[in-house]
Amino acid sequence: MEKRIGRVLALTVLTTALLMSACGKSTAAESSGIIVAANEKRYNVQLTDAKPKKPVKIAVLAFQNNPYWLPVRDGAEYAAKKLKARGSSAEWIVVSENFDASRMVAAIETSIVKKYDGIALVAFEDSLVPAINKAVDAGLTVVTLDSDPDSKSKRMAFYGQDYFHSGELSAEYLATKIGGKGKVGIITGVFGATCPQQRMDGFKSWLKKNKPEISVVGAYENNDKAEIAYDLTKNFITANPDLKGIYVTAGGPFGASRAVQELKKESQVAVVGHDFIEDNFIAIKDGSMSAVIGEDPFQIGYDPVIGLYNYLVTGVKPQKEHMTTNMQTMTKNNIDALTANFK
């Protein structure tokens, strides 16, 4: 049975040092650990050669509830350096540590008051649509990154993953890994949030159509926290000694892999998650995590800033309304090749 987990766990997490304070900008001391030098070939969007008639001012509104956001920030800040050379700016603003719609709405309204030319934001649920539309009506150009509301808004474009399909790919990989039958558990970020919900829907849909012999024994929230994923994984295994897999839809899959490793269940329980980040790389290399379905988070920070700037300078919209990133499945067999671009 699916239910919300409302309690806060006091467990120590592997990456506490990476997590930020609840509000404010990120600091230079915090690093993604995987982006040392930029590689232009990694980007879908190229900076226009056209010069702005006046300085362009962009706000990037995001969160910092797990290490995934660090390379996203790095991408946005690398784009900001390029804009600075053109006399323009892009400011990375952490709205809150956790997904808080009221804080995001307030940040959008502040951006309107401060007369930014454009906003790139993480639009993680439909309740943000009125604020997005208000910004557009006030003359700002808005794009979304990482997450896009299910409901129609006036935003110009979305930059991110096809989340439903990434859930399908996760289900297909996990089904193959566990032999096409058995019990699996789902750990999702926040019920109803666009990204994890679409991934979970894609995962379940694929299993129902293709591998009905695999049963989902439960789905629980971890609020993108590795420490909660750790605890939930131990609970899953305790309640289901014959469990074969864990699918983590959003942040903190390395917490699940740590629990599997401590219980010495690596050969029995396969963990599949998302995001190309250092903690997941470590888990894949040590065998506690089977795979991550990911895209380049640096690109998710970089492309929307450049795409937004290009439009504000030239008036030319992005090639597509949905600027989706390429998805790749990383395993122990190909991790060295895939991480070559992150060095």
Q: Are residues 229 and 211 located together in one domain of the fold?
A: yes
Segments forming the whole domain that contains residue 106: 31-161+297-327
Whether 18 is in a domain gets the answer: no
Averaged pLDDT, 51-60:
96
Is pLDDT above 70 for 13?
Answer: no
Distance CA 284, CA 177 (A): 14
Is pLDDT above 60 for 37?
Answer: no
143: helix, coil or strand? strand
Are 262 and 300 a contacting pair, CB within 8 Å? no
Q: Are residues 217 and 228 located together in one domain of the fold?
A: yes
* pLDDT band per the 50, 70, 90 thresholds, residue 65: confident
Q: Are residues 172 and 197 located together in one domain of the fold?
A: yes
Q: Are residues 137 and 153 located together in one domain of the fold?
A: yes
Averaged pLDDT, 64-83:
91
Give the model's pLDDT for residue 57: 98
Cα-Cα end-to-end distance for the chain: 42
Whether 58 is in a domain gets the answer: yes
Q: Are residues 167 and 288 located together in one domain of the fold?
A: yes
Q: Are residues 126 and 169 located together in one domain of the fold?
A: no
Whether 19 is in a domain gets the answer: no
Whether 265 is in a domain gets the answer: yes
Give the model's pLDDT for residue 4: 33
Whether 284 is in a domain gets the answer: yes
Is pLDDT above 60 for 16?
Answer: no
Q: Are residues 153 and 60 located together in one domain of the fold?
A: yes
Give the model's pLDDT for residue 324: 85
Give the model's pLDDT for residue 98: 82
Averaged pLDDT, 75-86:
96
Buried b (16+ CB within 10 A) or exposed e, 310-322: bbbbeeeebeeee
Are 235 and 268 a contacting pair, CB within 8 Å? no
Whether 10 is in a domain gets the answer: no
Which DSSP category does 192 fall into? Answer: T
Averaged pLDDT, 143-147:
94
Q: Are residues 223 and 285 located together in one domain of the fold?
A: yes
The count of structural domains within the chain is 2
Q: Are residues 202 and 96 located together in one domain of the fold?
A: no
Whether 25 is in a domain gets the answer: no
List, in order, residues 6 or more apart from 14 with CB less than 8 Å away: 226, 254, 255, 258, 279
The fraction of the chain above a pLDDT of 70, given in percent, is 87
295-342 residue pLDDT tens? 778 899 999 999 999 999 999 999 999 998 878 899 999 999 988 865
Average of per-residue pLDDT values in the chain:
87
* pLDDT band per the 50, 70, 90 thresholds, residue 54: very high
Give the model's pLDDT for residue 19: 29
Is pLDDT above 80 for 15?
Answer: no
Give the model's pLDDT for residue 195: 86
192-226 residue pLDDT tens? 888 899 999 999 999 999 999 999 999 999 999 99
Higher pLDDT, 277 or 119: 119
| Contacts of the segment 165-168: beta carbons below 8 A, 24+ positions apart | 165/202, 165/327, 166/199, 166/202, 166/274, 166/293, 166/327, 167/198, 167/199, 167/200, 167/201, 167/202, 167/203, 167/204, 167/205, 167/206, 167/249, 168/202, 168/203, 168/205, 168/206
Distance CA 22, CA 64 (A): 8
Q: Are residues 167 and 144 located together in one domain of the fold?
A: no
Whether 274 is in a domain gets the answer: yes
DSSP annotation string for 303-321: HHHHHHHHHHHH-PPPS-S
Residue 46 maps to which CATH number? 3.40.50.2300
Q: Are residues 244 and 269 located together in one domain of the fold?
A: yes
Q: Are residues 115 and 223 located together in one domain of the fold?
A: no
Least confident of 26-35, 116-125, 257-266, 331-340: 26-35
The tokens for 48 are 């226009």
List, in order, residues 6 or more apart from 80 with CB less than 8 Å away: 89, 90, 91, 92, 305
Are 186 and 278 a contacting pair, CB within 8 Å? no
Is pLDDT above 70 for 8?
Answer: no
Give the model's pLDDT for residue 141: 98
Give the model's pLDDT for residue 31: 40
